[in-house]
Chain A
Amino acid sequence: MASTLVDLDQPPYRNEGFCAVLELAVAAARELDPGADRVPAPRASREAGLDERVQREAIRRLRSGTAVNPGLLPLLAEGRFAAGVPDLVCLIAAPGTARARTVLDIVREAAERGERVLLTAPVPPPVDAVIARLPDGATVIRVDQAGSGPGSIDAASAAVQQRILARSQAAARSLEPWLGDPAPAHGWLRRLDNALTEAAEARERAGRAAAHHEATVRAARDRLGAPLAEIARERATAERAAAAAAREVERLTAALRRAETSRLRRWQAGRLRTSLSHAVRHAAAARSAFHTIDSGYAESAREHDIAVGNDSVVRAAAERAAFADLAARRALESAERSAHQLTRMLDGVTARPEWTADEAGLTGFAERCRELEPTLRGRAGLLREWRQRATRPSRQLHGELLRYADVVATTCLGAGRPEHADLEYDLVVVEDAGRVAVPAALVPLVRARRAVLVGEAGRPPLRDVAVVRAWVAARCPAGVDAAELTGLLTGSVFDRVAACGPAANRAGPGPGGTGPASGRPGG
Chain B
Amino acid sequence: MAEAAHLPMREVVRRAGALPGVRPRRFVPLLLPMWAVDVVAEVREAHSYDVFDRYLSRAVAEAGLRRPAELAAFFGVEPALVTRAVRFLVRIGHLRYDGDDLALTELGHLSIADGRRHVLTPGRRITLRFDGCGGEPVPHAHATHSVWLSEPALTLPDGTVFDPVGPAHPLPPNAVELLLNRPDTADFTGPAVPVQVTAAAPRPVWLPIYAVECEDEPLVFGWAVDGPDPYLRDVYDRHRGQSEAD
Do residues A114 and B62 form an inter-chain contact, with CB atoms below 8 A?
no
Q: Contacts A168-B75, A396-B51, A399-B50 hold; do A382 and B63 have CB atoms under 8 A apart?
A: yes
Do residues A382 and B62 form an inter-chain contact, with CB atoms below 8 A?
yes
Cβ of A13 < 8 Å from any Cβ of B? no
Do residues B76 and A164 form an inter-chain contact, with CB atoms below 8 A?
yes
Q: Is the interface of A mostly helix, strand, loop or mixed?
A: helix
Do residues B62 and A403 form an inter-chain contact, with CB atoms below 8 A?
no
Contacts of A403 in B (CB 8 A): 50, 84, 88
Do residues A139 and B63 form an inter-chain contact, with CB atoms below 8 A?
no
Do residues A383 and B74 form an inter-chain contact, with CB atoms below 8 A?
yes
Shortest beta-carbon distance from B40 to chain A in Å: 16
Number of interface residues of A (CB under 8 A): 28
Q: Contacts A375-B64, A403-B88 hold; do A168 and B74 have CB atoms under 8 A apart?
A: yes
Do residues B80 and A114 form an inter-chain contact, with CB atoms below 8 A?
yes
Do residues B53 and A114 form an inter-chain contact, with CB atoms below 8 A?
no
Cβ of A404 < 8 Å from any Cβ of B? yes
**How far, in angstroms, from A367 to B75 measured CA to CA in the complex?**
28
Do residues B64 and A378 form an inter-chain contact, with CB atoms below 8 A?
yes
Question: Which of A168, A375, A385, A400 lies at the interface centre, i.e. has the most chain B CB atoms within 10 A of its CB?
Answer: A400
Cβ of B225 < 8 Å from any Cβ of A? no
**How far, in angstroms, from A166 to B76 measured CA to CA in the complex?**
8
Q: Contacts A171-B74, A389-B51, A404-B52 hold; do A378 and B80 have CB atoms under 8 A apart?
A: no
Q: Contacts A114-B83, A399-B50 hold; do A379 and B76 have CB atoms under 8 A apart?
A: no
Query: What residue of chain A has the Cβ atom nearest to residue B84's Cβ?
Result: A404
Cβ of B78 < 8 Å from any Cβ of A? yes
Q: Contacts A165-B76, A399-B50, A404-B84 hold; do A379 and B64 have CB atoms under 8 A apart?
A: yes
Contacts of B88 in A (CB 8 A): 403-404
Contacts of B77 in A (CB 8 A): 160, 163-164, 167
Number of interface residues of B (CB under 8 A): 23
Contacts of A406 in B (CB 8 A): 80
Do residues B55 and A382 form an inter-chain contact, with CB atoms below 8 A?
yes
Do residues A400 and B51 form an inter-chain contact, with CB atoms below 8 A?
yes
Q: How would residues 353 to 385 of chain A score, 1 for a CB under 8 Å from any chain B CB and 0 otherwise?
A: 000000000000000000000010011011101
Query: What residue of chain A has the Cβ atom nearest to residue B85's Cβ?
Result: A404
Do residues A375 and B80 form an inter-chain contact, with CB atoms below 8 A?
no
Contacts of A167 in B (CB 8 A): 73, 76-77
Shortest beta-carbon distance from B140 to chain A in Å: 25
Query: What residue of chain A has the Cβ atom nearest to residue B62's Cβ?
Result: A378
Partner of A400 from B53, B59, B76 at Cβ < 8 Å: B53
Q: How would residues 45 to 74 of chain B score, 1 for a CB under 8 Å from any chain A CB and 0 otherwise?
A: 000001111010011001111000000011
**How far, in angstroms, from A163 to B80 measured CA to CA in the complex?**
14
**How far, in angstroms, from A333 to B77 measured CA to CA in the complex?**
43
Do residues B52 and A163 form an inter-chain contact, with CB atoms below 8 A?
no
Cβ of B178 < 8 Å from any Cβ of A? no
Cβ of B19 < 8 Å from any Cβ of A? no
Contacts of A385 in B (CB 8 A): 55
Cβ of A272 < 8 Å from any Cβ of B? no
Shortest beta-carbon distance from B58 to chain A in Å: 6
Cβ of B81 < 8 Å from any Cβ of A? yes
Shortest beta-carbon distance from B38 to chain A in Å: 17
Query: What residue of chain A has the Cβ atom nearest to residue B64's Cβ?
Result: A375
Cβ of A327 < 8 Å from any Cβ of B? no
Cβ of A471 < 8 Å from any Cβ of B? no
Cβ of A397 < 8 Å from any Cβ of B? yes
Contacts of B83 in A (CB 8 A): 114
Contacts of B76 in A (CB 8 A): 163-168, 171
Contacts of A379 in B (CB 8 A): 59, 62-65, 74
Partner of A375 from B63, B78, B85 at Cβ < 8 Å: B63
Query: What residue of chain B has the Cβ atom nearest to residue A382's Cβ?
Result: B63
Contacts of A116 in B (CB 8 A): 84
Shortest beta-carbon distance from A401 to chain B in Å: 8
**How far, in angstroms, from A106 to B78 measured CA to CA in the complex?**
21
Cβ of A267 < 8 Å from any Cβ of B? no
**How far, in angstroms, from A501 to B21 measured CA to CA in the complex?**
82
Q: How would residues 22 to 49 of chain B score, 1 for a CB under 8 Å from any chain A CB and 0 otherwise?
A: 0000000000000000000000000000
Shortest beta-carbon distance from A485 to chain B in Å: 35
Question: Which of B50, B76, B77, B80 lies at the interface centre, i.e. has the most chain A CB atoms within 10 A of its CB?
Answer: B76
Q: Which residues of B contact A (CB under 8 A)?
A: 50-53, 55, 58-59, 62-65, 73-78, 80-81, 83-85, 88
Supplied contacts A379-B62, A385-B55, 12 more A-B pairs, CB within 8 Å: A116-B84, A160-B77, A163-B78, A164-B76, A168-B75, A378-B64, A379-B59, A383-B75, A400-B51, A400-B52, A404-B85, A406-B80
User: What are 24 contact pairs spanning A and B, CB under 8 A?
Assistant: A114-B83, A139-B78, A139-B80, A160-B77, A163-B77, A165-B76, A167-B73, A167-B76, A168-B76, A171-B74, A171-B76, A375-B63, A378-B64, A379-B63, A379-B64, A382-B59, A397-B51, A397-B52, A399-B50, A403-B50, A404-B52, A404-B80, A404-B85, A404-B88
